[in-house]
Amino acid sequence: MAANAKLWPIVTVPIENEADVVTVRQRAHRLAELLGFERQDQTRIATAVSELARNAFSYAGGGRAEFILDPASTPQTFYVKISDKGPGIADVQTILDGQYRSKSGMGLGILGARRLMDHFSIESRSGKGTAVQIGQVLPQRAAPVTRAKLADIAATLKKDSSSDPLEVLRQQNRELMQSLDELRRKDDESKQLDQELSDTNRGVVALYAELDERAEQLRQASELKTKFLSNMSHEFRTPLNSVLALSRLLLDRIDGDLTPEQERQVGYIRRSAESLLELVNDLLDLAKVEAGKADVKPSAFTVGELFGSLRGALRPLLTSPAVELIFDIPDKVPNLFTDEAKVTQILRNLISNALKFTEQGEVRVSATFDAERERINLSVRDTGIGIAPQDHARIFEEFSQVDTRLQRRVKGTGLGLPLSRSLAELLGGELTLESVPGQGSVFTLSIPPERGDPSRAQRPSNSGRKRVLLIDDDETFRYVMRQIIGNEPRYEYIEAVDGDVGLKAAREQKPDVIILDLQMPTMDGFTVLQELNADSRTSVTPVIVSTSLNVNAELKARLPAGTRVISKNTISRDNVSLFLRDATMGAP
């Protein structure tokens, strides 16, 4: 309440007997009416004042009620102060906490007044009486009270002072009956609402139970799908590799010459097998990501090295002289320590798609560094047909393709973009799209520069080439592998003649992949594997076991889970290339 100098007193009523208690209630009710309060608020104010006035008379032998207006507050506030000079209240807080129990109900009266009004304060001292002040904010619809209006209100009260006390009690009873009827009506509404809520809750509980059941079914179905894709993808790869190897033998004329028609037919077989193998590889990668089994294998590399390897690998896809593939030389972009194979896989998918859907113009690959977000943005921008806004989300769904003129001509699985987005999230980044139909598209891979501990970074291979270390004591086998791998421009080939030398080379040369024999003198391959896994410098390096032993369940049980194994009896240029590709791309 504002300072006393700003308050406007209205009327003061002494409380000396039962009739005065009635009078105080009457004044409170009438003042509330004249000040513009609604009927329900009038009853609330009168009831609170009556309870406090009765307390003053019953426990202190009397007191007084002061009716006051605070004109300075916004909105204005109507106050009533009930004070007495009785013995006071020993423990006011006990009453306010609702813990005081009195046979006469004094505590309930104070608590009731407190709950009914907007403002409440109490001051009580032993032997010096009690003062309780309550207040109610004037309704917003009521016009502000001026001094002139307050004088009219006081005059009206004076005229009403001769009212019959019995009539006041009758009026009070009528109000109480009306309030009781209103409470009963609200109680009935509350019961009906409780019943409706109870029915609704039962329905909601049943719905949640059904949703939980459906969610569990979907989870199980998703797990089954992932297991199926993973298992079947592995099963598909074996016969596909055989088809590719046999077709290569035919095309190399190992068993005799081919007629032009036979060469064309074998070429069709090989291209179909390659397309199917690409689908199987995408399915396997996607299944691994969904199952949470795709690991991030970070290594240190630069954006320049990344672009260099992509430029060489994707040049053969340029089939139209009207389209140019451009790699912008990055400037002021930090080096990366993340999974180079997965970044390469994402960009290869994006560039391949861009080339498919661009008939003329260019496909431009660029890199920038967002220092504020600490992200490297790798963008693939094309001048192709573009993608309609309503299809932006759909192209990231598995097996989903947009029906366009070019889409009918080019081939695709509908897995490249969903897999790329999943791999981007695995690297702690995101894959976004901006596109306008007829003006081209921009896919942007945004990733943090580091994904792992840079102190364990492997030295990047020269010119983007992958470094392959062969550890084998068999001179003939080393010669065969030298012929297969050493002539490949994408690989840098290193040899070690036994386990000790190989372990030292692995630690010093930091290869991208190791091909390891199991049967060697001094230190066998099993021991080399243990040493490699125990050393932080080599524990992340992929290992391919090459052996003349029978590749069976017993042998695989002796190797770390997920170790790649190739039988020396099946060694060929194709399956060695496949194993090296899988190892450097992070496939199991």
Distance CA(360)–CA(417), nearest Å, equals: 22
Distance CA(438)–CA(384), nearest Å, equals: 7
Which of the residue ranges 242-246, 259-263, 577-581 has the most confident prediction, judged by mean pLDDT?
Answer: 259-263
pLDDT for 107 equals 62
Distance CA(479)–CA(455), nearest Å, equals: 35
Which residues, other chains included, contact 398 with Cβ-Cβ below 8 Å and sequence gap of 6+?
A: 286, 414, 415, 418
Angle at 299 between CA 297 and CA 304, to 5 degrees: 130
Pick the CATH number of 201-293 from 3.40.1350, 3.30.1460, 3.40.50, 1.10.287: 1.10.287
Residue 411 pLDDT > 60, yes or no? no
Residue 461 pLDDT > 50, yes or no? no
Residue 577 pLDDT > 50, yes or no? yes
**Is 4-163's fold the same as 299-455's?**
yes
pLDDT tens digits for 476-507?
788 788 888 877 778 888 999 899 999 999 98
Q: Which of 140-144, 246-250, 278-282 has the lowest mean pLDDT?
A: 278-282
pLDDT for 550 equals 79
pLDDT for 395 equals 78
Region 299-455: CATH code = 3.30.565.10
Q: With cut-offs at 50, 70 and 90, classify the pLDDT of residue 459.
A: low
Closest CA to 233 of 270, 269, 273, 276: 276
Q: Which of 172-186, 222-236, 542-556 has the lowest mean pLDDT?
A: 222-236
Q: Which of 10-19, 306-315, 411-420, 544-553 has the lowest mean pLDDT?
A: 411-420
Kindly state the percentage of the chain with pLDDT values over 90: 25
Q: Which of 46-60, 397-411, 561-575 has the lowest mean pLDDT?
A: 397-411
pTM above 0.75, yes or no: no
Q: Is the CB of residue 363 less than 8 Å from the CB of residue 323?
A: yes
pLDDT for 228 equals 65
Superfamily covering domain 4-163: Histidine kinase-like ATPase, C-terminal domain (3.30.565.10)
Q: What is the dihedral of CA 316, 319, 321, 323, to 10 degrees?
A: -80
pLDDT tens digits for 382-410?
998 888 888 777 777 765 665 555 554 55
Distance CA(191)–CA(480), nearest Å, equals: 88
**Secondary structure class of 82 (helix, strand, coil):** strand
**Please, what CATH class does the domain formed by 464-585 belong to?**
alpha beta
Distance CA(429)–CA(424), nearest Å, equals: 5
Which of the residue ranges 202-216, 241-255, 318-332, 334-348 has the most confident prediction, judged by mean pLDDT?
Answer: 334-348
Would you kindly state where each structural domain of the chain is located, as residue ranges?
Answer: 4-163, 201-293, 299-455, 464-585
Residue with tokens 């010093």: 508
pLDDT for 526 equals 92
Q: With cut-offs at 50, 70 and 90, classify the pLDDT of residue 66.
A: very high
**Secondary structure class of 379 (helix, strand, coil):** strand
Which residues, other chains included, contact 98 with Cβ-Cβ below 8 Å and sequence gap of 6+?
A: 107, 111
pLDDT for 394 equals 76
Kindly state the percentage of the chain with pLDDT values over 70: 85
